[in-house]
């Protein structure tokens, strides 16, 4: 019989740096046991009758979430974490007959899984826009065939016309590919304590195994358009909750970048289907979707040091939630993709001197993608991207896709360029130019719809992101 | 036997908080003897004992009216020779060991005597009450409020002053609540309230999960917002106040070194149960632990450091129940149960006073270590338990705000040409 079983707990981040916590310990799902001595380094005397013990370690700082770990108590008084807890706690103990002393070293994370909250929010559809009656639910039902989705799975879209690969020297074409399946764990995580991005969509393909000894993960970070343009129209008001979880953030800000419409992307290219494009391209990459806020946009990750640290934390979280206690401690190759006004945010990131001096942007980021950079942004994008890329031996890849051949883009390849539309590409550079007018016959051919003149630019703007990212992801940037 | 009440201080001239003046009215109206502080320097514990000794009468109830804090301290001197205006549990323990000041004796303070403190929050520290009880010669009971204590005008001519406790929420900050000579925080009250509510919502939100209330976060924020919306430093239904913990350097130590090496101190004993409802989430159910990270210099040359804790208070408009319960903590010194004062704790900043949470067990790890050694475990194995303790600071280099960015002149925030609607 165990006469004396004493438990103490300590908490750290995944790197072993101390995180101060408040602790609550309960025994056999009963009341909370008093903590003794020091709340920062607690000690508990466990009852002899204890069968199970649960500790909740709640950080006293805003930048980490609580961790809950549960143990079974053996006949000898020794503690064994259950399967869900095992990746988050290490047990050290000393035992002699009748007495055991145990130290629980708990790991806390900056991320928590809020997928259930996001799925619930899908059904919290606004009935007004800017105070006026709106048919938002009907729009989403029409776009995706039904609404709300029951989960975050990305269903097969056999009717989608993907960009045909490889692309020819001149011209582009599209066709269905029923071999494309997004077999992935899709989750939405919430990052603690930052102004933005608080929400992070993640699509982790099954083919990228999370197991002991796994290689470091390669990531594609997709920077959607900036949100400043939506102040007064989306993301706030009409009865919606504050950032980060309301209908607009979980749909327009997240789901629409993950999903493809039903039946075809050409029906609504506002849905970008990024994980589908990665699957079509055969890219072994986890796609990551920071959800920018209305007022702070991409917030802390304009510092690439912060972005790198967050991706490491994300990798740790995703491995541990799949049962791996020792995830990789470095990152694989990373690419940063950006769309529309998001291209200028990426340009700023590439141009900051403090970013250029740190290791994530300097070593881990292997490629940058610009999806239809607007005219006001494109000069900064080209300048910053080429400066970051440096000489060919740096092996840093820069890929632009556009509907307008702005002059700065002509620095990417020597004249003469092919007759548009074209995607011309080398290992290190890509320029895809599908002129605005050329989308009219493409859409007519794919879905038999004639685009109104006043909608062609906007359609092409989104369609470039919804189709051309496939090409970028097929260029071997993650191998 | 009527009560005897000691006022341990006097209100400074022009003070907005007429704590002692109102207390005097309150206790005078209740009958009994009220003993004023002898001077602006205040009453000492030695003076209290001398007065009681001079009366030579067995006391039933001794009221002590005194400013105090949740960090286990009260504003009085131990003796006339004391230089510290405040006493903490260490000071009481030292006094107890030195037997100075000496208690009046069992003829005056006995097992039938109860000592009642009227001073903010000090009932949250079981160790403080234990030591204070010992200094008084182990009266039958010593009682102290778990919350801020307030004397305020009642509007009732028959009983013009009432005694109330206040529910509070504390947040450490690196600036004074109100800079001396001004009437409002830097930035104004509205901005301060907004920041305070944001920080307090996060801090106290940690306890929401324990209530099981799915809307708890919103309820908590609404509760804090309502409490803060008209609060200033003027004592009213809701108000702000601050507690300052000045950092004193040891000999040979700079003020900055002292500030960097203080031990964490909490405004109460460890919390051992969740708040049952969101309405119960406050300083009595969520501790505020301040550390060296909360210190800041109060002089440009960094010759002095302090910690400021801003507190939002909301009067609880009921007569406090002066007995062990939600309003007051009681310490009863049954001889068999009274913990030995022992030597003074080695570490400073023991405001957490965790020893009180387990009344009889002492340090369980220490007991286990001895049992392990007795049972044949090696010292090396036991030492290994302490190995690999987390070091460093996991929050270092985490930015929570966006870096400063310079927007491009042409940045419309939109991908669209100006003639088109945005995406």
Best to test chain A binding among B225, B292, B415, B423 (most A CBs inside 10 Å): B415
DSSP state of B323: S
Are B413 and A341 within 8 A, CB to CB?
A: yes
Indicate the residue of A16, A227, A377 with minimum beta-carbon distance to B390. Answer: A16
Q: What's the angle, vertex CA A166, arms to CA A163 and CA A167, rounded to 5?
A: 70
CB neighbourhood size of B396 (10 A): 7
Q: Are B345 and B263 in contact (CB under 8 A)?
A: no
**How many H-runs (helices) and E-runs (strands) does chain A carry?**
13, 23
β pairing state of B73-74 and B68-69: antiparallel
Are A348 and B405 within 8 A, CB to CB?
A: yes
pLDDT of residue B411: 61
* 3-state SS assignment for residue A424: strand
Which pLDDT tens digit goes with each residue over B174-220? 899 988 778 889 889 999 999 999 999 988 987 887 777 888 889 99
User: Per-residue pLDDT for B20 more than 50?
Assistant: yes
Are B209 and A66 within 8 A, CB to CB?
A: yes
DSSP state of A145: S
Are B372 and A101 within 8 A, CB to CB?
A: yes
pLDDT of residue A196: 96
Are B367 and A6 within 8 A, CB to CB?
A: yes
Starting at the edge strand found earlier in the chain, the sheet holding A4-12 runs A43-46, A4-12, A99-107, A89-96
* 3-state SS assignment for residue B53: helix
Which pLDDT tens digit goes with each residue over B88-99? 988 998 888 888
Query: Quick check: A101 contacting B, CB < 8 Å?
Result: yes
Q: Are B139 and B133 in contact (CB under 8 A)?
A: yes
pLDDT of residue B418: 42
Length of chain B, please? 423
User: Per-residue pLDDT for B355 more than 50?
Assistant: no
pLDDT of residue B354: 27
Residue of A nearest to B274 (CA): A32
What pairs with residue B208 in β-bridges? none
DSSP state of A96: E
pLDDT of residue A38: 57
**Which residues have a Cβ under 8 Å from the Cβ of B226 and sit 6 or more positions away?**
none
User: Per-residue pLDDT for B360 more than 50?
Assistant: no
Query: Quick check: A351 contacting B, CB < 8 Å?
Result: no
pLDDT of residue A32: 67
Beta strands in A194-294 (DSSP E): 199-205, 219-223, 286-291
Residue of B nearest to A193 (CA): B400
Are A99 and B399 within 8 A, CB to CB?
A: no
Token pair recorded at residue A203: 């699509």
Indicate the residue of A20, A37, A196 with minimum beta-carbon distance to B355. Answer: A37
Q: Are B76 and B43 in contact (CB under 8 A)?
A: yes
Best to test chain A binding among B368, B381, B401, B406 (most A CBs inside 10 Å): B368
Mean confidence (pLDDT) of chain B = 83
**Cβ contacts (< 8 Å) between A375 and chain B: which residues?**
410, 417
Range among A158-172, B26-40, B121-135, B267-281 with highest mean pLDDT value = A158-172
Query: Quick check: A112 contacting B, CB < 8 Å?
Result: no
Closest CA to A303 of A253, A254, A335, A348: A348
Query: Quick check: A232 contacting B, CB < 8 Å?
Result: no
**How many H-runs (helices) and E-runs (strands) does chain B carry?**
9, 16
Token pair recorded at residue A178: 């029923």
Residue of A nearest to B291 (CA): A20
Instruction: Give the number of beta-carbon pairs within 8 Å between A and B.
Output: 227
CB neighbourhood size of B383 (10 A): 10
Residue of B nearest to A462 (CA): B423
**Cβ contacts (< 8 Å) between A94 and chain B: which residues?**
372, 377, 381-382, 384-385
As for the ipTM of the complex, it is: 0.85
User: Per-residue pLDDT for B9 more than 80?
Assistant: yes
Distance from CA of A188 to the nearest CA of B (A): 19
User: Per-residue pLDDT for B130 more than 60?
Assistant: yes
**Cβ contacts (< 8 Å) between B377 and chain A: which residues?**
94-96
Indicate the residue of A37, A40, A61 with minimum beta-carbon distance to B363. Answer: A37
Tokens 């000898």 correspond to A76
* 3-state SS assignment for residue A297: strand
Q: Is the preceding omega at residue A190 within 30 degrees of 0, hence cis?
A: no
pLDDT of residue B329: 87
Packing angle of the helix pair B126-135, B89-98 (nearest 10 deg): 30
Closest CA to A387 of A413, A414, A429, A356: A356
User: Per-residue pLDDT for B423 more than 80?
Assistant: no
Residue of B nearest to A310 (CA): B398
Query: Quick check: A58 contacting B, CB < 8 Å?
Result: yes
Maximum alpha-carbon separation in chain B = 94
Q: How many angstroms separate the Cα of B176 from the Cα of each of A179, B122, B173, B245, B294?
A: 65, 22, 8, 11, 12
Which pLDDT tens digit goes with each residue over B247-299? 988 888 899 888 888 877 888 887 766 778 899 999 988 888 888 888 999 99
Q: How many angstroms separate the Cα of A434 from the Cα of each of A336, A418, A439, B48?
A: 22, 11, 7, 91
Are B401 and A305 within 8 A, CB to CB?
A: no
Q: Are A192 and A65 in contact (CB under 8 A)?
A: yes
**Cβ contacts (< 8 Å) between A374 and chain B: which residues?**
412, 414-417
pTM greater than the 0.80 cutoff: no
What pairs with residue A68 in β-bridges? A56
Query: Using CA atoms, how far apart are residues B364 and B358, in angstroms rounded to an integer?
Result: 9
User: Per-residue pLDDT for B161 more than 90?
Assistant: yes
**Which residues have a Cβ under 8 Å from the Cβ of A9 and sit 6 or more positions away?**
A23, A25, A42, A55, A57, A103, A104, A105, A106
* 3-state SS assignment for residue A341: coil
Distance from CA of A14 to the nearest CA of B (A): 9
Starting at the edge strand found earlier in the chain, the sheet holding B73-74 runs B68-69, B73-74, B87-88
Residue of A nearest to B272 (CA): A34
Q: Please, which pLDDT band fits residue B412 given cuts at 50, 70 and 90?
A: low
Indicate the residue of A12, A270, A344 with minimum beta-carbon distance to B394. Answer: A12
Window 430-459 of A, Cβ < 8 Å to B: 454, 457-458
Over its length of 479 residues, how does chain A's per-residue pLDDT go in tens digits? 556 888 989 999 999 999 988 888 888 866 666 665 455 668 888 877 788 999 999 998 999 999 999 999 998 889 999 999 999 999 999 998 888 999 999 999 999 999 999 999 999 999 999 999 999 999 999 999 999 999 999 999 999 999 999 999 999 999 999 999 999 999 999 999 999 999 999 999 999 999 999 999 999 999 999 999 999 899 999 999 999 999 999 999 999 999 999 999 999 999 999 999 999 999 999 999 999 999 999 999 999 999 999 999 999 999 999 999 999 999 999 999 999 999 999 999 999 999 999 999 999 999 999 999 999 999 999 999 999 999 999 999 999 999 999 999 999 999 999 999 999 999 999 999 999 999 999 999 999 999 999 999 999 999 999 999 999 999 999 99
Q: Please, which pLDDT band fits residue B344 given cuts at 50, 70 and 90?
A: very low
Sign of dihedral through CA atoms B209, A191, B266, B17?
A: negative
Indicate the residue of B287, B354, B411 with minimum beta-carbon distance to A37. Answer: B354
**Cβ contacts (< 8 Å) between B389 and chain A: which residues?**
10, 18
Indicate the residue of B291, B357, B414 with minimum beta-carbon distance to A229. Answer: B414
Query: Quick check: A43 contacting B, CB < 8 Å?
Result: yes
Q: Please, which pLDDT band fits residue B337 given cuts at 50, 70 and 90?
A: very low
């Amino acid at each position: 019989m165990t006469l004396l079983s004493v438990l103490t707990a300590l908490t750290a981040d995944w790197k072993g740096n101390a995180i101060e916590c408040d602790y609550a310990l309960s025994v056999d799902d009963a009341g909370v046991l008093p903590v003794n001595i020091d709340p920062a380094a607690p000690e508990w005397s466990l009852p002899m009758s204890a069968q199970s013990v649960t500790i909740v370690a709640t950080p006293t700082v805003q930048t980490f979430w609580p961790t809950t770990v549960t143990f079974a108590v053996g006949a000898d008084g020794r503690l064994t974490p259950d399967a869900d807890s095992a990746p988050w706690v290490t047990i050290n103990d000393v035992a002699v007959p009748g007495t055991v002393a145990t130290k629980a070293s708990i790991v806390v994370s900056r991320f928590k899984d809020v997928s259930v909250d996001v799925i619930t929010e899908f059904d919290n559809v606004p009935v007004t826009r800017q105070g006026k009656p709106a048919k938002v639910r009907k729009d989403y039902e029409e776009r995706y065939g039904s609404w709300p989705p029951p989960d975050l799975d990305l269903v097969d879209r056999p009717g989608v016309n993907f960009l045909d690969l490889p692309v020819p020297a001149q011209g582009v074409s599209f066709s269905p590919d029923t071999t494309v399946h997004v077999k992935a764990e899709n989750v939405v995580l919430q990052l603690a304590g930052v102004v933005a991005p608080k929400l992070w969509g993640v699509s982790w393909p099954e083919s990228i195994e999370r197991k002991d000894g796994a290689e470091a993960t390669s990531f594609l970070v997709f920077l959607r358009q900036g949100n400043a343009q939506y102040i007064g129209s989306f993301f706030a008001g009409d009865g919606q909750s504050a950032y980060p979880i309301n209908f607009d953030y979980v749909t327009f800000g997240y789901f629409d970048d993950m999903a493809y419409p039903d039946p075809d992307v050409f029906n609504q290219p506002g849905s970008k289907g990024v994980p589908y494009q990665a699957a079509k391209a055969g890219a072994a990459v986890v796609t990551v979707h920071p959800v920018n806020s209305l007022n702070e946009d991409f917030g802390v990750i304009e510092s690439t040091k912060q972005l790198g640290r967050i991706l490491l934390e994300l990798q740790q979280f995703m491995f541990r939630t799949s049962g791996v206690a020792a995830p990789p401690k470095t990152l694989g190759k990373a690419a940063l993709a950006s769309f529309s006004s998001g291209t200028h945010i990426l340009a700023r990131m590439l141009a900051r001197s403090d970013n250029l001096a740190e290791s994530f942007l300097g070593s881990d980021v292997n490629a940058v993608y610009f999806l239809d950079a607007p005219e006001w942004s494109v000069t900064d994008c080209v300048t910053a991207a080429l400066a970051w890329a440096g000489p060919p031996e740096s092996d840093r890849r820069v890929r632009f896709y556009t509907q307008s051949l702005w002059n700065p883009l002509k620095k990417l390849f020597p004249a003469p360029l092919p007759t548009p539309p074209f995607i011309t590409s080398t290992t290190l550079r890509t320029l895809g130019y599908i002129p605005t007018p050329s989308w009219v016959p493409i859409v007519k051919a794919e879905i038999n719809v004639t685009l109104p003149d006043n909608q062609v630019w906007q359609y092409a703007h989104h369609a470039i992101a919804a189709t051309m990212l496939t090409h970028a992801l097929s260029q071997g940037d993650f191998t | 036997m009527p009560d005897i009440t000691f006022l341990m201080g006097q209100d400074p001239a022009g003070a907005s908080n007429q704590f002692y003046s109102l207390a005097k009215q309150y206790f005078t109206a209740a009958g009994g003897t009220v003993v004023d502080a002898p001077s602006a320097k205040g009453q000492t514990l030695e003076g209290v004992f001398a007065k009681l000794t001079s009366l030579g009468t067995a006391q039933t109830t001794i009221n002590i009216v005194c400013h105090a804090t949740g960090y286990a301290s009260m504003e009085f001197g131990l003796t006339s020779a004391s230089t510290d205006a405040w006493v903490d549990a260490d000071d009481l323990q030292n006094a107890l060991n030195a037997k100075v000041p000496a208690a009046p004796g069992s003829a005056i303070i006995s097992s039938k005597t109860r000592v009642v403190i009227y001073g903010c929050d000090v009932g949250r520290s079981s160790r403080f009450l234990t030591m204070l009880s010992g200094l008084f010669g182990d009266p039958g009971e010593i009682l102290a409020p778990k919350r801020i204590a307030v004397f305020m005008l009642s509007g009732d001519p028959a009983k013009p002053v009432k005694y109330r406790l206040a529910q509070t929420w504390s947040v450490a900050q690196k600036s004074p609540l109100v800079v001396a000579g001004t009437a409002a925080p830097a930035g104004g009250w509205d901005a301060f309230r907004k920041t305070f509510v944001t920080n307090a919502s996060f801090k106290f939100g940690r306890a929401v999960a324990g209530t099981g209330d799915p809307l708890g976060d919103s309820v908590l924020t609404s509760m804090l917002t309502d409490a803060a919306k008209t609060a200033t430093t003027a004592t009213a239904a809701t108000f702000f106040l601050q507690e300052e913990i000045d950092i004193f350097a040891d000999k040979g130590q700079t003020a900055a070194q002292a500030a960097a090496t203080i031990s964490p101190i909490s405004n109460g004993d460890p919390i051992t149960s969740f708040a049952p409802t969101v309405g119960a989430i406050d300083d009595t159910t969520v501790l505020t632990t301040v550390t060296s990270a909360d210190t800041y210099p109060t002089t440009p040359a960094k010759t002095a450091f302090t910690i400021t804790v801003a507190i939002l208070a909301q009067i609880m408009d009921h007569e406090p129940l002066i007995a062990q319960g939600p309003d007051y903590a009681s310490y009863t010194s049954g001889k068999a149960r009274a913990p030995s004062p022992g030597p003074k704790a080695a570490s400073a900043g023991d405001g957490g006073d965790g020893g009180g949470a387990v009344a009889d067990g002492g340090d369980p790890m220490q007991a286990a270590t001895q049992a392990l050694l007795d049972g044949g475990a090696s010292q090396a194995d036991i030492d290994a338990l302490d190995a690999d303790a987390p070091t460093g600071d996991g929050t270092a280099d985490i930015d929570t705000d966006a870096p400063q960015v310079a927007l491009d002149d042409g940045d419309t925030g939109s991908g669209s040409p100006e003639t088109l609607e945005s995406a």
